[in-house]
Amino acid sequence: MATFLVVLSRDTDVSDDMITAHRAFLADLRAEKRLGLAGPFKDVRGGAYILEAETLSMAQEEAARDPLISEGIAQATVHEWAAHA
C-alpha cells in the first residue's frame, strides 16, 4: 500500500446531513484500516485526510466516492505522499 494525502476544498456551505454522510464515509475507511489522520481546516473551507491505497488512480477513485465530492460540494486533490516522522 502507498500513502496519499487527499485535500478537499469548497466554496459553499455544507448541510449537517452532508457532513454526517462524509463522516460515515471516513468511518468506513477507518474500519478498513485505510484512513490515517483526518479533519477540517480551521477556516472550514475544506480539510484533508490520509488514505492508504494501492495506486494513485485507486486513491482518486476512492476519494471520488466521498459524498462531498460525488455530490459536487467539494473538489479533491490527491497526492501520493512520501511522509516520514
How far is residue 44's CA from residue 39's CA, in Å, rounded to a whole number? 10
Domain ranges of the chain: 2-80
CATH number of 2-80: 3.30.70.1060
Confidence at residue 41, expressed as pLDDT on a 0 to 100 scale: 94
How far is residue 59's CA from residue 12's CA, in Å, rounded to a whole number? 24
Confidence at residue 12, expressed as pLDDT on a 0 to 100 scale: 87
Question: Per residue of the chain (85 residues), what is the pLDDT tens digit?
Answer: 999 999 999 988 899 999 999 999 999 999 999 999 999 999 989 999 999 999 999 999 999 999 999 999 999 999 999 988 7
Confidence at residue 82, expressed as pLDDT on a 0 to 100 scale: 93
Q: What is the pTM of this model?
A: 0.93
How far is residue 37's CA from residue 14's CA, in Å, rounded to a whole number? 21
